[in-house]
């Protein structure tokens, strides 16, 4: 077994990595700047299990390495710095592959996945926009059905609860190994909260729309430990500050988060999206709860994760 670390001084990398092609040591990776910059070319090899200490709690990186581990000789073991989404582990178990978990450590050995029928629940990251719309609007009740409420993904529910939001979880059940429920959000009197630490990996995609909710909370909300958001489709901390401020919000950008002082009425304006679907949808909800007209440029970028978002936003209130 080969040992990899995060390269920050805790050890050294061994085996093939994004630093140039290698042979006999796993897959080979070629690209610009010695394999560090796209476009990258991957060539399969004799994969071997590794022990890897992950520098950040990333479900995407974890899933990629666990999938590779199914086709590698020996055991693949990952050590996470914090809990991250575990959809892959649940899927593996449902499809007949053993996953060994010990605290923050996850291990797999070579195995074959058995085909199965899966019902994919609604994404809670997408549901978050409707929850925030419901709790921030002065006269609303919004129901989102069949939402995945895997505990590694429900940080947005915990954060809204900390802020005093009236959000209920109904019709809880399990489908395909995943927890599913209906979520109901109602108009709420929100209060400020401090949000950070282990909660962030469980709501990292929802930080922009959570910042919008904080604009309607009494007091000053601080979001920390979210520096990862600077390297998403956009710098989401900067984009959230700039665009919410355009609407009249009081938002300060921190190195790793945001400080939002609530209580200012938001007004309609023209927003940029920075080619980022999360920012586009957040500003769409901001337009619903702000006075006056809101215009969003390059709004079609929302379709990256939610193709029908604008149609669904337009349908709010039709059942009233």
Cα dihedral value 17, 21, 26, 27, nearest 10: 90
Ramachandran area for residue 59 (φ above 0: left; ψ -120 to 50: alpha; else beta): alpha
Give the integer Cα–Cα distance in Å for 260 and 251.
5
Residue 2 backbone phi and psi in degrees, to 5: -100, 150
Known catalytic residue at 205: yes
Give the integer Cα–Cα distance in Å for 190 and 227.
25
Out of 6, 102, 194, 205, pick the active-site residue.
Answer: 205
Taking residue 197's Cβ as centre, other Cβ atoms within 10 Å add up to 10
End-to-end CA distance of the chain: 61
Q: Compute the chain's Rg from CA coordinates.
A: 21
By annotation, the residues acting in catalysis are 205
């Amino acid at each position: 077994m080969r040992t990899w670390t995060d390269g920050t001084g805790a050890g050294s990398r061994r085996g093939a990595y994004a630093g140039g092609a290698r042979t006999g040591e796993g897959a080979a990776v070629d690209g610009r700047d010695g394999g560090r910059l796209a476009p990258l070319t991957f060539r399969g090899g004799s994969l071997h299990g590794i022990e890897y200490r992950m520098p950040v709690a990333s479900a995407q990186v974890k899933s990629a390495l666990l999938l590779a581990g199914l086709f590698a000789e020996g055991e693949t073991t990952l050590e996470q710095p914090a809990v991250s989404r575990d959809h892959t582990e649940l899927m593996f178990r449902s499809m007949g592959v053993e996953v060994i978990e010990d605290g923050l450590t996850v291990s797999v050995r070579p195995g074959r996945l058995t085909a199965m029928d899966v019902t994919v629940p609604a994404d809670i990251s997408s549901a978050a926009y409707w929850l925030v719309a419901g709790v921030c609007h002065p006269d609303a009740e919004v129901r989102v059905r069949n939402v995945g409420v895997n505990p590694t993904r429900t940080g947005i529910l915990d954060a809204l609860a900390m802020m005093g939001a009236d959000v209920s979880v109904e019709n809880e059940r399990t489908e395909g190994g995943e927890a599913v429920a209906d979520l109901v959000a109602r108009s709420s009197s929100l209060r400020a909260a401090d949000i950070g630490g282990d909660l962030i990996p469980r709501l990292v995609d929802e930080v922009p729309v959570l910042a919008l909710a904080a604009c309607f909370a009494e007091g000053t909300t601080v979001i920390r430990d979210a520096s990862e958001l600077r390297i998403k489709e956009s710098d989401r901390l900067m984009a959230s500050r700039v665009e919410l401020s355009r609407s009249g919000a009081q938002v300060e950008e921190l190195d790793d988060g945001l400080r939002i002082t609530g209580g200012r009425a938001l007004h309609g304006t023209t927003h940029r999206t920075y080619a980022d679907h999360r920012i586009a949808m957040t500003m769409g909800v901001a337009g619903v709860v702000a006075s006056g007209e809101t215009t969003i440029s390059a709004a079609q970028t929302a379709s990256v994760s939610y193709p029908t978002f604008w149609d669904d936003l337009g349908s709010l209130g039709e059942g009233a």
